[in-house]
Amino acid sequence: MSGQPNILGLGYYVPDSVLTNPDLEEMVETSDEWITTRTGIKERRIAAEGQGCSELALHASRRALKDAGCDAGDVTHILLATFTPDYCTPTSSCVLQGELGATRCQMAADVGAGCSGFIYSLDLARGLLALDPGATILVVGSEVCTARLNFSDRNTCVLFGDGAGAAVLGGGSEAGPYVVDAIQHSDGTLGHLLPVGREGGSASPYKLGQAVSEDYFIQMKGRELFRHAVRGMADLTTKLLHRNGLSTADVDLFIPHQANLRIIEALAKKLGYPMQNIYVNVDRYGNTSAASVIIALSEAYAAGRITSGDKVLLTAFGAGLTWGSALLQF
Ligand code: ACO
């Protein structure tokens, strides 16, 4: 192998504070039994007051750089996937660059693709590395979803959590894990199924002193999203495997977006893929959006679930709507 982007290091970070289902029972009319049976989620992590997207990203990035044996000064590009940036501007990727001390960085950009943001960013990094094989690219997914949660809306507040994950990518060498292929899709006609910030953006700006309404927060049509998510992720992973001459039987570990255990089970059934080869941590973290897949990948790698020679398949689905899949060779 040569010319394919190498994965040089992985890392993740989740905040210390845990919000359990019984905690949510105190906040909205719900139950541990409802949340567990409908979603598989038992608890999620919550960022501390004042802990923004870039701070979570900083912890995950430092760990990924350490794993890669790199210094912040080696980083030439930062792609940070998020829908919950610290501010409109400066971007969280620029804040991260400054906090890291990535002084050689030529480009720091936020990527907004909902829960598919990390896989979209991985694909963008492949493009950058094709143009500049000497680049060292920090690809991050970081979210403080709770900043956009309406904690009086039981339809959404039980589903999401906070966290970050990061990967360091470099030009293709003969050895080490690499990205084999990636594929993306989007359908902007379905954006109304998962809007965030229908108020408070440029289309409907707040005036000074105006109170925040429920339209500032995450809203979703859960049932419809469920169907699109299963179909979208199944179609794209099948296409990706097919164009690489592979089938699901060749995949050693499958890491789908951690939104809901029932979506993961329906996806496994549709693909005819065994649940025991699927990495699941949604029970502990909930849906961390763009951070979900990279947290799961880093965690699986650190836990020894991935060994040399393994093929690992990633897939995600999110607001936009967007979806994507990537195939990794370890
Ligand atoms: N506790 C108790 N009852 C609840 C709760 C709750 N937290 N939330 C909703 N309900 C109620 C509803 O009000 C509804 O009551 P009603 O029948 O009196 O109106 C009832 O439960 C059933 O609601 P449904 O929407 O039919 O429940 P469903 O079985 O579809 O589960 C869920 C809802 C979990 C949201 C499911 O549709 C789902 O997971 N969809 C996908 C959502 C998702 O994962 N989105 C993210 C993917 S994209 C991305 O990650 C950005």
Domain boundaries, the chain: 4-174, 180-203+212-329
Quick check: helix, strand or coil at residue 27?
Answer: coil
Give pLDDT, residue 1: 46
| Contact (CB, 8 A) for 289 and 119 | no
Side chain identity at 130, as an amino acid letter? A
Give pLDDT, residue 176: 85
Question: Which residues are CB-neighbours of 87 under 8 A, at least 6 positions away?
Answer: 95
CA of 263 to the centre of ligand 1 (A): 12
pLDDT at 3 over 80: no
Convert the pLDDT of each residue in 179-207 to its tens digit: 999 999 999 999 999 999 999 999 999 99
Convert the pLDDT of each residue in 219-260 to its tens digit: 999 999 999 999 999 999 999 999 999 999 999 999 999 999
Q: Which residues are catalytic?
A: 115, 257, 287
> Could you tell me what percent of the chain has a pLDDT over 70?
99
Architecture of domain 4-174: 3-Layer(aba) Sandwich (3.40)
Give the homologous superfamily in CATH for domain 180-203+212-329. Answer: Thiolase/Chalcone synthase (3.40.47.10)
Side chain identity at 218, as an amino acid letter? I
Q: What is the mean pLDDT of residues 112-132?
A: 97
| Contact (CB, 8 A) for 324 and 192 | no
Grade residue 171 by pLDDT with cuts at 50, 70 and 90: confident
pLDDT at 154 over 90: yes
CA dihedral 284, 325, 137, 286 (to 10 degrees): -10
Task: Give the span between the Cα atoms of 287 and 251, in whole angstroms.
Answer: 24
Neighbouring C-beta atoms of residue 90, cutoff 10 Å: 16
Task: Give the span between the Cα atoms of 290 and 316, in whole angstroms.
Answer: 9
pLDDT at 60 over 90: yes
Task: Give the span between the Cα atoms of 112 and 92, in whole angstroms.
Answer: 11
Q: What is the mean pLDDT of residues 94-118?
A: 98
Q: What is the pTM of this model?
A: 0.96
Question: Which residues are CB-neighbours of 307 under 8 A, at least 6 positions away?
Answer: 330
Nearest residue (CA) to ligand 1, atom 24:
223
83 lines ligand 1 (CB under 6 A): no
Neighbouring C-beta atoms of residue 276, cutoff 10 Å: 6
Nearest residue (CA) to ligand 1, atom 29:
38
pLDDT at 90 over 50: yes
Residue (of 238, 278, 254, 263) closest to 328 by Cα position: 254
Burial of 166 (0-12, 13-18, 19+ CB in 10 A): buried
N-to-C CA span, the chain:
12
Nearest residue (CA) to ligand 1, atom 13:
155
